[in-house]
Structures are given as C-alpha cells and as structure tokens.
Amino acid sequence: MDHPLDKPFWSALVGVQANLASGSGRARRYLPDVSAIGGVADASDGALADLAKLVPKDGALTVPQAFAIGCPAGATQEVMMAWQLLDSNDGPQATPSAEILPLSEPDWPAMMALATLTQPGPFMLRTPLMGHYWGVKRDGVLIAMAGERMRLEDYVEISAICTHPDYRGAGLGTALCLHVRDAIRARGQTPFLHAYQSNTGAIQLYESLGFVKRTEIYANHFSAAD
C-alpha cells in the first residue's frame, strides 16, 4: 500500500488542504496565488493528461513525488532530486524564546518580502493560508520566519525557514524550526521537511535536529513548451 508521503502533495490536496486545490481526476495543484506546487495520484497516462491541464502558460509547476513520472503533453520537464526527512522524535530540545511570535494576515506583505529576498522555496502572498507561521521581529521588522506548508492528517511539513542576511549566524532559523516542530508534535502529528540533495548544509542541519532521511523525492519542474 502506498504511503501518503510517497505522493505528499497529492495526499494533502485531496485531503486536509482540498479547499486550496484546483484540478480534477488524478492531478491537483494549489491555487495559483497560494503555491506553484501540485501532485498526482500515480504515474499513469491518465494522471499526466490531467496534470497537463494544470501547467501554467506562464511560470512553472513543481510536482514532488517519491516515484518518477513522465512529462505531460505540451510541457517541458526538469527533474531535481531531493530528500524527504521525517522527525525521529529525538533531537535537541527547543529553547523557549519570547521573540518567536505567531504571524497573521497583516504580516503577509513582510513575509512575502522576506521570502523574496531569501528564496527559501516557492512562496506567494497567500502561501500562509497553508498553515501556521511564526517569526522574529526586530524594531518591528520581520527578520526570520518558519511555518507549515503541506498538511496531511498525520503529517505536517515544515517550510519557509529563512533569515534576513543581516541576521544570519545567530541561530534564528534553528530556533524557529524547533518551535514549529514542537507545535506540530503537540497536535499529535509528525513533522517532516524536504531539501534538495545538493543543499548539503541544510540536510546536515536537519539531521542534527533529529530528522532522518525517509525517501528520495523526484522534484519535477514543468513549464509550458514553447
């Protein structure tokens, strides 16, 4: 039987996050102003035909799966390999910090600006609808954040871990990652995250925080063919 994390975005988009989904049949994606990420139920021709309808004419769509899929008609495909890492329920304890505060809709423009500057991964103005986000501010300016992206019944992805370049090296990203991890654990769910295999520094950090590699992920980037 397939594990829901083998096709994580499909599992989220037909489940807990169905209200943020578009598409039909065997392919789904997040609404365009929420995230440029989607998922398929399997690698069948039918799934690729449904996926073809979701690849934007401008921009790209990323489909991360634990299995290889082909390229839908009318699109080009680039594949990058990533790791999916799962919380081992071990790792260091989080240090409570009064600096870490929940972020809400008035913070969205600042979150978008920080994500645009630091490029932690796909992030759009309404990405915060996907889950809870926390941040650190100095003099009223958001300088670091992290939050939840993909949500399933039993698993929640930690994402958008980023720190303004002027404040890196102070451990803010680690503190925020552990804060989000503990918030997910407190709800009885298991945290997980993704990192490109080329990002060895991030992988080493996540492993030091108690995350273990669960499976390889094919991150398929689709764009409309010329």
Distance (Å, whole) CA 161 – CA 146: 4
The span from the CA of 85 to the CA of 77, in Å, is 24
Do 13 and 150 contact (CB within 8 A), yes or no? no
Measured torsion, CA atoms of residues 127, 133, 136, 138, in degrees rounded to the nearest 10: 50
Within 10 A of 57 (CB to CB), how many other CB atoms are there? 7
**Cβ neighbourhood burial of 24 (10 Å; 0-12, 13-18, 19+):** exposed
First-to-final CA distance of the chain:
39
In this predicted structure, what is the pLDDT of residue 53?
97
The DSSP bridge partners found for residue 83 are 195, 216
Q: What is the pLDDT of residues 40-99, one digit of tens each?
A: 999 999 999 999 999 999 989 999 999 999 999 999 999 999 999 999 998 999 888 889
Tens of pLDDT along 117-174? 999 988 999 999 999 999 999 999 999 999 999 999 999 999 999 999 999 999 999 9
Residue 177 pLDDT > 70, yes or no? yes
Q: What is the pLDDT of residue 155?
A: 98
| 3-state secondary structure (DSSP) of residue 77 | strand
List the structure tokens of 150.
């993909």
The yes-or-no verdict on residue 1 having pLDDT over 60 is no
Cα–Cα distance measured from residue 42 to residue 65, given in angstroms and rounded to the nearest whole number: 9
Q: 171 — alpha (psi -120 to 50), left (phi > 0) or beta?
A: left
Q: How far apart are alpha carbons 176 and 134 in whole angstroms?
A: 7
- Record the pTM: 0.94
Write the pLDDT tens digit of every residue in 183-202.
999 999 999 999 999 999 99
What's the CA angle centered on 176, arms 201 and 139, to 5 degrees? Answer: 115
Q: Do 195 and 202 touch, CB atoms closer than 8 A?
A: yes
Alpha helix locations (H) across 93-171? 108-118
Sign of CA dihedral 37, 43, 48, 49: negative
Helix H or strand E encompassing 133: strand 133-138
pLDDT score for 75? 97
Residue 21 pLDDT more than 70? yes
Q: How confident is the model at residue 2 (pLDDT cuts 50, 70, 90)?
A: confident
